[in-house]
Amino acid sequence: MPSYNLAIVGMGNVGRALLRLLISKETDLRRRYDIRWRLTGVATRRTGWIADPDGLNPLAALHGHSLIQHGNTTQPRNLREWLERARADVLFEATSLNVKTGQPATEHLRMALELGAHAITANKGPIVHAYHELTALAKEKNRQFLFESTVMDGVPVFSMFPFGLPATDIRGFTGVLNSTTNVVLTEIEKGRSMDEAVKRAQAMGIAETDPTADLDGWDSAVKIVALAIVLMGVNVRLDQVQRTGIRELSEEKIRSVRAAGMRYKLVCRAERRGDGVDCSVQPEILLASDPLANLEGSSSAIRFDLDVFGLSFIEHNPGVEATGYGLLADFLRAVRQ
């Protein structure tokens, strides 16, 4: 029965959700897939680089307890030493998004692949800034670079096309892809202020401590670019996305539109134009008959316009566990191929 050494960089909401799933599904992974795992590396800003090839206590990692083993007094000094000491077979990258550079997530993934580990991320930055480089490196090393949870959490948006929809051409897509803004708009419709709505999203574990990337449309813009690069084969840059967030919307206008039977949503759009793709993210007033208008809370949806038919996905009120599941699903895809 194969056993895999797992290393996780970033133990925030997503990293902990992944670890909870690994623990809860450990027996299932053994029985159904003949897969064993052990946690051999954890890296966070607070604890630094911690590694033990004999295994760390996953429950201690989950609850923030000390992982320093008795007699193990020296910690790795950098990323390479950490991965080597952990003898990582799989790296899970779950650090925060850096919109401008995609770092340090890109370097984490690059180093993992260079050292012969599968590289799995929930971070969209590396796709936008280094997709072709990391994909080529993974192929060279005969390893997997996977990123399903970067858009719509555990919904198989990326993995669906090469396996389930071969030889289709995506002409464009429309979606509501940012859970934070959807929660915020829904809560404002109920009477809460913008600040109260943001705090509600943070309490749900959906919004970051700093919600700027969500409210100003950066998170949605990055997702549009990631989808266009991977699924449409067009090298779109972030500065090519027409971007407007929800911060300038008045609470009164949001509620009055709702009272009139319509709703504001932060809508992502991409449409193929010749060899390029026109991309935008902006608040739009949607009629009640539009399926995107009916999304509640943290729900998200995307509609693909294919050359042979149209296809829609709706994710109903996912929590952070859905993002963790995307990482877990990628783990199974990586080691079973």
Report whether 289 contacts 277 (CB < 8 A).
Answer: no
Report whether 224 contacts 279 (CB < 8 A).
Answer: yes
Q: Output the pLDDT for position 162.
A: 87
Domain spans of the chain? 3-154+321-336, 167-317
Catalytic residue among 25, 199, 223, 253: 223
Q: Output the pLDDT for position 1.
A: 58
Could you tell me if residue 261 is left (phi over 0), alpha (psi between -120 and 50 degrees) or otherwise beta? left
pLDDT digits (tens, 9 = 90+) for 106-120: 999 999 999 999 999
> Which of 43-52, 120-129, 253-262 has the least mean pLDDT?
43-52
- Residue 71 scores a pLDDT above 70: no
- Residue 186 scores a pLDDT above 80: yes
Regarding the domain with residue range 3-154+321-336, which homologous superfamily does it belong to in the CATH classification? NAD(P)-binding Rossmann-like Domain (3.40.50.720)
Residue with tokens 């709703």: 263
- Residue 290 scores a pLDDT above 70: yes
Cα–Cα distance between 75 and 85 in angstroms, integer?
9
Architecture of domain 167-317: 2-Layer Sandwich (3.30)
SS3 content of the chain, % helix, strand, coil (to 5): 40, 25, 35
Report whether 258 contacts 191 (CB < 8 A).
Answer: no
Q: Output the pLDDT for position 74.
A: 72
Q: Output the pLDDT for position 69.
A: 60
Active site residue 190: no
- Residue 198 scores a pLDDT above 70: yes
